[in-house]
Chains A and B, each alone.
Chain A
Amino acid sequence: MELVEVKKLQVQLDAFAGKDVYLHLETTNGSYASHFNEGFFNAGAFIRNVVINYELGKVVGDSPHRVGLKLPHGWVYAQGITHYELDDQGRLLLAGHDGTGKLAVALEISETPFSY
Chain B
Amino acid sequence: MTIQQERHVLVVFPHPDDEAFGVSGTITTHIQQGTPVTYACLTLGEMGRNLGNPPFATRESLPAVRKKELLASAEAMGLTDLRMMGLRDKTIEFEDDEKMVRMMTDLIEELNPSKIITFYPGFAVHPDHEATARAVVRAVRRMKDRPTLHGVAFANDTLEKLGNPDVVYNISDVRTQKMNSMKAHISQTAWMLEEMEHKLQQGDTETENWLMQERFYNYRWDEDFEKSF
Contact = CB atoms under 8 A, between A and B. Distances in A.
Interface of A: 1, 3, 24, 26, 28, 30-32, 35, 38, 46, 82-83, 85, 87, 91, 93, 95, 97-104, 106, 108, 114-116
Contact of B59 (A98, A99, A106): A106
Contacts, number: 68
A28 B61 CA distance: 18
Q: Which 4 A-B pairs have the closest CB atoms?
A: A101-B53, A97-B53, A101-B52, A102-B49
B147 interface: no
Contact of B90 (A46, A95, A106, A115): A46
Contact of B50 (A85, A102, A108): A102
B115 interface: no
A98 B125 contact: no
Interface string B98-112: 000000000000000
A104 B50 CA distance: 10
Given A1-B54, A32-B126, A103 B90 contact: no
B47 interface: yes
Contacts of B55: 1, 83, 95, 97, 101
Main secondary structure of the interface of B (DSSP, over half): loop
B125 A93 contact: no
A10 to B, nearest CB: 20
Nearest to A24: B59
B155 A35 contact: yes
Given A101-B50, A106-B59, A35 B127 contact: no
B86 to A, nearest CB: 8
Contacts of A24: 59
Contact of A93 (B54, B60, B126, B191): B60
Contacts of B52: 97, 101
B59 A95 contact: yes
22 contacts: A1-B58, A26-B47, A31-B125, A38-B156, A82-B53, A83-B54, A87-B60, A91-B60, A95-B51, A95-B59, A97-B53, A97-B54, A98-B53, A102-B49, A103-B49, A103-B50, A103-B51, A104-B49, A108-B59, A108-B60, A114-B60, A116-B88
